Homo-oligomer: A and B are copies of this chain.
Amino acid sequence: MRRMSLRHALIGLLRERPASGYDLMQVFDKSLHQVWPATKSQVYAELAKLDEAGLITVTAEGPRGRREYAPTEAGLAELRHWMLETTPDETQRSETLLRVFLLGALDRAQAKDFMLAIRERTLADLARLDALTESIDWDWRADDDLLRYGAIVMEWGRRMMEMTRDWSEWAATRIPD
């Protein structure tokens, strides 16, 4: 049990409101996908472990075997400890950047096209983000923490894309013909 971010993500999400594994998967697929992807297998397994460890507990049962969980006091303490007293693992992996690093395997024209293709993809990502931003009802529960901090994370994503767009343009000009 080294870092176990998923564990803390689940407690943190349940802190906002009790939820089932199914509910949590919606959040992972819709909001958290770009930040911390997770699969059903992982979520259901981790919920079972968390329950057994006494960090969350079943608060309601519904149709189709639905089980809603909420964090226990121990769980909340563990979450705060993780957030305040441990340093995040900042390991970054970027397959795109790895390819840029290895661009010497292509000829110059291909390398330049590669950078311009990154630009095109980033432009498309930005357009998708714009559409997503418009589709969100920002007024709904303006006091909602997930919405407040989610917006801050989204802004990071937007700035990241804008940066990548500018960088890829610049990089293309740096590759001589």
What is the bound-complex CA distance between A36 and B171, given in angstroms? Answer: 20
Q: Does A129 contact B (CB under 8 A)?
A: no
**Shortest beta-carbon distance from A107 to chain B in Å:** 10
Number of interface residues of A (CB under 8 A): 60
Q: Is A131 an interface residue (CB 8 A)?
A: no
Tell me whether A136 is interfacial, beta carbon within 8 Å.
no
Q: Which of A127-175 contact B (CB under 8 A)?
A: 145-146, 148-150, 152-153, 155-156, 159-160, 163-164, 166-167, 170-171, 174-175
Known A37-B93, A79-B102; contact A171-B155, beta-carbon cutoff 8 A = yes
Which residues of chain B are near A59, meaning CB under 8 Å? none
| Contact B163–A102 (Cβ < 8 Å) | no
Distance between Cα atoms of A171 and B149 in the complex (Å): 9
Task: List, in ascending order, chain B residues with CB within 8 A of A105's CB.
Answer: 12, 15, 76, 79-80, 83
Rounded to whole angstroms, the CA-CA distance of A68 and B121 in the bound complex is 38
Cβ contacts under 8 Å, A96 to chain B: 88, 90
Partner of A159, one of B102, B114, B166: B166
Interface residues of A in 10-32 (CB under 8 A from B): 12-13, 15-16, 31-32
Q: Is A5 part of the binding interface, using a Cβ–Cβ cutoff of 8 Å?
A: yes
B80 near A145 with CB under 8 A, answer no
Residues of B close to A3: CB separation below 8 A: 95
Q: Which of B15, B35, B152 contacts A93 (CB 8 A)?
A: B35
Interface set of A (CB-CB < 8 Å, partner B): 3, 5, 8-9, 12-13, 15-16, 31-32, 34-37, 76, 79-80, 83-84, 88-106, 110-111, 114, 145-146, 148-150, 152-153, 155-156, 159-160, 163-164, 166-167, 170-171, 174-175
